[in-house]
Structure 1
Amino acid sequence: MTNVFQDNTKHYKKAFVLLLPFLLVACDDDDTREVIVEVEVPAEIPPPVPVSYDVTVTNLTNAQPLSPPAVILHGDDTLWQIGDVASVELERIAEGGDATDFLNQGVASAGGTGPIPPGDSQTISVTINDVTDANLTIATMLVNSNDAFTGMSNWNLSSLEVGETYITSRPAYDSGTESNSESAATMPGPAANGEGFNAQRNDTGYISMHPGIVSGDDGLPQSALSSQHKFDNPVIRIHITRTE
């Protein structure tokens, strides 16, 4: 008599043997499969490096003391330029030599230690932590005048290497905020000891090249100035040295 159970077992064994290679292949495929995941690692940002400049202003005039210069390092914004309407901050320098508000602009700033007499120089140091902000603006008043000032606007210094010096000479500008009457009551300098800043504006309304001093010697009766107070351009020389 045939053992049905034994025959079925043989069939099961055969079936198991036939399925085993497929199971092994399937397992082998799973074990060797590789998954590659790309992870973008952000570039390391270097810390900001301090950058320092020495700015030396030399007075080239005969009898025009300069107010304490304002030195500002800033971004791409422009603090003053020919043809623009002067800001109140610049007007305070051009009419009264007061740079307090002007120095509150920009990334870093420094003011002079006092007036610069004719023929003298003064060095001002200023430091920033990012060379990309190294645009330089300077402003200082010719104090024996109504609203004459000089300086430089928005000069980029980012390419200046440590130890290098940039030299430039600059003319006199008129802020266009006060009429050039040259009267004693309207000028703050030692030649007149009159008023400085006045919020009322009564001139062209825009920054331009200064037309110069007329003086009482040359036909302006109300002028408190003499021919000694006249000036030729340039009125200052600027040395800018990167020290760090």
Structure 2
Amino acid sequence: MKFINQSNRSLSGALAFSLLLLAGCSDSGNNVSQQPVQAEPQPQQKVFTIDVINLTNNQPLSPLAIISHSEGAIWTLNQPASVALENLAESGDNSMLLTADFAASSLNGAEIIPPGSSQSLTMRVPLMGQAYISMATMLVNTNDAISGLNRVDVTNLPTGRSVSYVTNSYDAGTEANSEMAGTIPGPADGGEGFNSIRDDVDFVSLHPGVVTSDDGASNSVLNESHRFDNPVMRVTISRVQ
């Protein structure tokens, strides 16, 4: 009886070992076929470079206010300027435009662009159904002249492609174009910036240009060097990502 019991135990152990070996081989095959596939991460934004050249003779441009948006506009011709645009147009202060309620993202130009100089900036635009880029700057040797781009559609601009524009000058219509001493914030005068009183036509229009002391305007602090014709800037927008 003792001999028979030992044989049964040996047989049972061999069978158990064989089953474990088969199970191990099966698990090894399953591990190879069940490796997860990692999905490529999707970009959350588009990236653009914006290159700007000041084409004027003697009109420094205030720090650019650049925004991306899917609705709204920085200005509308023949309509009153917003208080944010009025601040920029009279003093060069871009802070209110950069925080406009319709802006999806914003970019501060930070530095004045002297005549003949250029500036290159990088703009990150959130992914959205419709994407516009707008920008504005003040011609600082004026009462309230601005230039810029309004609602440039970059929704379908492919990576590696560029679009170029030349910009006009506009009159914000919030301050009379008197050109008198004390009314112009730029280096030609060093006068007053923003003033909440609107003493002009109160709508945005194309700017007629300046009438300087060299043109017979005896009260003007501007001279022939401060005249400007369109275009004011050359702007190139390139999608890099």
TM tier, smaller: 0.7 to 0.9
Return the match for 1:204 from 201, 206, 222: 201
Kindly state the Cα deviation for residue 124 of structure 1 after the two structures are TM-superposed: 1.8
Matched, 1:71 2:66: yes
Over the matched positions of the two proteins, sequence identity in percent amounts to: 44
Mapped contact 1:139–1:151 kept (Cα < 8 A): yes
Kindly state the Cα deviation for residue 129 of structure 1 after the two structures are TM-superposed: 2.4
Tell me the C-alpha RMSD between the 2 structures: 1.3
SS in 1 for 2:185: coil
Aligned pairs (5 A) from 1:1-244: 49-105=44-100, 106-244=103-241
- Gapped regions of structure 1 (runs ≥ 5): 1-45
Q: Deviations over 1:36-86 (max 9, x none)?
A: xxxxxxxxxx95631011111110000000000111000122221211110
Give the distance between the partners of 2:104 and 2:192, measured in 1 at CA. 31
Which piece of structure 1 moves more, 138-147 or 53-62? 53-62
Give the distance between the partners of 1:79 and 1:113, measured in 2 at CA. 19
Kindly state the Cα deviation for residue 155 of structure 1 after the two structures are TM-superposed: 1.4
SS in 1 for 2:129: helix
Give the distance between the partners of 2:77 and 2:120, measured in 1 at CA. 26
Mapped contact 1:48–1:129 kept (Cα < 8 A): no
SS in 1 for 2:201: coil
Where in structure 1 do 4 or more consecutive aligned residues deviate above 6 Å? none
What is the aligned partner in structure 1 of residue 6 from structure 2? none
What is the aligned partner in structure 1 of residue 11 from structure 2? none
Mapped contact 2:212–2:220 kept (Cα < 8 A): yes
Structure 1 letter corresponding to 2:69: H
Give the distance between the partners of 1:235 and 1:203, measured in 2 at CA. 23
Give the distance between the partners of 2:181 and 2:240, measured in 1 at CA. 43
SS in 2 for 1:101: helix
SS in 1 for 2:98: helix
Q: Give the TM-score, by structure 2 length.
A: 0.80
SS in 2 for 1:186: coil
- Gapped regions of structure 2 (runs ≥ 5): 1-40
SS in 1 for 2:214: helix
